[in-house]
Amino acid sequence: MVTRVVRPTRRPITWTESSVVTVTAYVGVGANLGDVRTAVRNATLAIANLQGVTHMTPSSLYGSAPVDADGADYVNAVVRIQTTLSPHQLLAALQGLEHGAGRTRHYRNAPRTLDLDILLYGQETIQTPDLVIPHPRMWERAFVLAPLAELDPQQVTELHREQVAYQKIWRLT
């Protein structure tokens, strides 16, 4: 008779609520096609309702002329979120919202029904083919820096503000 030794199986690790890491991220929101104010407001609400987003604070809405782009003036905002999504999960979710809003990518900086960009993700620096954080052009855009400074003044230095002072931007009521 052969005796067989049975070793206990390892149980898979299960993540508890307390083991999930929450990160503060900032997302730029903009549009210049269609009912842009409604598109930006709806996008901020949609971001707040994403699975994995536990808190969202929006900036005011800002108007701006296109920078390195064509078309009508933009409406922009920035939202600060608390999220358990990884940077790439967040990117996929935001691209899904863009797609749902009818976003098409005919060419770089084309007019758009909705544009969602991850600006900052905690203290992370990420450089992959599909995602760069911090956003590579955020420091060159008044329409990003003004609403970002409204939410978190420490993120935007006086030098940043001076470098975009020539760009026309206005707070919408």
115 included as an active-site residue: yes
68 included as an active-site residue: no
Between CA 27 and CA 78 the distance in angstroms is 6
Q: Helices (H) and strands (E) in the chain — how many of each?
A: 4, 8
Task: Kindly name the residue from 7, 35, 103, 130 that is annotated as catalytic.
Answer: 103
Task: Kindly name the residue from 7, 10, 80, 115 that is annotated as catalytic.
Answer: 115
Q: From residue 92, how far is each of 1, 28, 153 by CA, in Å?
A: 57, 15, 28
Contacts of 163 (CB under 8 A, 6+ apart): 139, 140
Task: Kindly name the residue from 10, 112, 137, 171 that is annotated as catalytic.
Answer: 112
117 included as an active-site residue: yes
Task: Kindly name the residue from 117, 137, 152, 161 that is annotated as catalytic.
Answer: 117
- First vs last C-alpha separation in the chain: 85
Between CA 111 and CA 56 the distance in angstroms is 26
112 included as an active-site residue: yes
Active site positions, annotated: 103, 112, 115, 117
